[in-house]
Amino acid sequence: MKTYFKILIALLLLTTSPLAFSQEKPILVQLEEVAIVDQKVMMPMRDGVRLATDIYRPKGEGKYPVVFSRTPYNFNTWGNGEMNTRTMETALSWVKKGYAYVVQNERGRYFSEGDWDILGVPLTDGYDALDWMVKQTWSNGKVGLLGCSSTAEWQMAVASLDHPALAAMVPQGYGAGVGKVGDFYEQGNWYRGGAGQMLFTAWLAGVQHDPMAPKLPAGISQEDLLRLQRFYDMSPEYPRVDWKQGLSHLPVQDIIKAANGPKGIYEEMITRKPNDPKWFQGGLYHDNMPFDTPSFWFVSWFDVSAGPNIALFNHARQNALSQMAKDNQYLVIAPVLHCSYTRATENTMVGDLSVGDARLNYDEMITSWFDKWLKGQDNETVSELPRVQYYTMGSNEWQTSDVWPPAEAVMTELYLDSEGKANTLNGDGKLSYKKPKKDAPDTFKYDPMNPVTSYGGNVCCTGNAIDGNGGSYDQSEMEKREDILVYTSEVLEEGIEVSGFIESYLYLSSDVKDTDVTIKLIDVYPDGKAYNLDETIQRVRYREGYDKEVWMENGKVYEVKMTPMSTSNFFDKGHRIRIEVSSSNFPRFDRNMNTGGNNYDETEGKVATNSIHHGGKSLSRIVLPIIMK
């Protein structure tokens, strides 16, 4: 009893203190003052499956536009008996702006019924959700889509269905929803140049729901769901995994199994080749699909997929069905990691590199965008919106352009050259505007059991697997490896800006049937620090296209056109431009076992002797979009 009174007195003192009166009201109280809160609405799809949906709309009579977020992630507003405020904070913000905010779980996720597949297929779920919302008495008939990463990646394919209620989109960090577009054939970031991107192995290990997981009874009522959500949110507790070790497991197809992770779609997806028909039957958007939605695209320089994301913006601008849609595609490219737009500060750090004050008023721009398309309100923010806003690192400034790449960018060739000893940063490799007079190939051994390790870079979702965990870091220590060829320009006598797509053509010979070629673009500072900007890879068996595999003959020289890199960087006076060439960048990309086999089911590899040629007819080169300052 004494303990009870002590607790009571402590609570009274707390609630009557000046601090208590100065604290903001709980988020739920704020929401309920201005909004009708309708959680765990089970929205029916055409096949009878119901998707769990939370709806927040302004109080009072009226019809409101809808901001719609659909996600595979857990947005339950309760956890461990306490409120989780993130979803409610977002809802409160939109309700105050005069919108209904609707958030929904994909089928098979948490309280939603059905079986989950990546990107929330079938596509008809997105169409049916739009249909349901615009038929509500509180809807004004217009819906805008908003989200980042997996909350954005489904948007494009659903937009291709052309629902009349879909008025506008704001996809952010949406690369895993891009199948094939232009030169990019990534099938939703699963591949880069035909090599596997290992981010999905780690991501699916912590996301996919095991088919044996318990499910709620079919037809459960909203009343029961509201009660259950306060103490039971259907969120599994996944095993903790040291992905630095976990992603090294062989064969690749057993990585999640070896980590005691859930069964799911990974084991089937890992067997698909880049041109497997299943990639064209799911939730990915491909450039042969129609598109006609005004869209405000957000991309990051240090995301997994800046290149294909920008290519999709260009595709939509050039190929939308109507002139109206063509004229209303806008793009922002920020110098941040995946979905980290609002984390930019007056001294924005990407890895160990400071890129200056990279802040931008995202909230104002996005709100104004939806005000125009969902409310019909013309406003100065949108009318003055530059077609492309991009951040140039090095000069650390926001710039604008009417097209991407900027019209003033001149594609300029720099040739790889050496006396045959470009191995390591202490070798004789150089980048030159002059074509080399003779071919003195640079040779290195690629051992898949001792790959070049990833250090920073354009990454996402791999836990602790990659040193630096994304961004730009000094690569000079890495460049001491004998299996990295280093080619560096002379010291720049004046600064140059590189903004756009970077093309690369490398001439390779090898003693194995198949191997990989990697390349990395580097800004070398006067003190010798070498900061990575972008990177790519090509699996050589796919050098002639992704619909066939073509093997190499021992010693024969092949041209390998790399998937384009992308950046905007000012190489200042006194800096140097550098590229690294090798055959591995692990675990950013999976290791080629050099056998010509499936790769995903192999445990033993071959050591490859690989040579890069750069003379005569074998002019290995990069082509930079240079803007002179």
Rounded CA-CA distance 595/598 in Å is 9
> In the numeric block, which tokens belong to residue 498?
């590189």
25-151 — its CATH code? 3.40.50.1820
Extended beta strands in 385-477, E state: 388-392, 397-401, 410-417, 430-432, 442-446
pLDDT tens-digit map of 202-261: 999 999 988 888 889 999 999 999 999 998 888 888 889 999 999 999 999 999 999 999
10 to 2, 16, 17, 95, 611: CA distances (angstroms): 12, 10, 11, 36, 75
Quick one: average pLDDT of 341-369?
97
Is the per-residue pLDDT at 23 higher than 90? no
Residue ranges per structural domain of the chain: 25-151, 410-628
pLDDT of residue 8: 36
How far apart, in whole angstroms, are the C-alpha atoms of residue 127 and residue 125?
5
Dist. CA 460–CA 185, nearest whole Å: 19
Whether pLDDT at 578 is above 90: yes
How far apart are alpha carbons 98 and 374 in whole angstroms?
11
Label residue 80 by pLDDT band (50, 70, 90): low
pLDDT tens-place string over residues 368-409: 999 999 999 999 999 999 999 999 999 999 999 999 999 999
In this structure, are residues 310 and 480 in contact, taking their beta carbons and an 8 Å threshold? no
Residue 78, pLDDT score:
83
**What pLDDT digit, counting tens, does each position of 426-478 carry?**
999 999 999 998 899 999 999 999 999 999 999 999 999 998 889 999 999 99
Residue with tokens 């499956």: 49
Q: Among residues 110, 111, 148, 104, which one has the least CA distance to residue 130?
A: 104
The pair of structure tokens assigned to 47 is: 């096949």
Same topology, domains 25-151 and 410-628? Answer is no
CATH superfamily of 410-628: Galactose-binding domain-like (2.60.120.260)
73 within 8 A of 196, measured Cβ to Cβ: no
Pairwise CA distance, residues 118 & 105, whole Å: 12
Q: What is the pTM of this model?
A: 0.94
Distance of alpha carbon 413 from alpha carbon 431, whole angstroms = 10
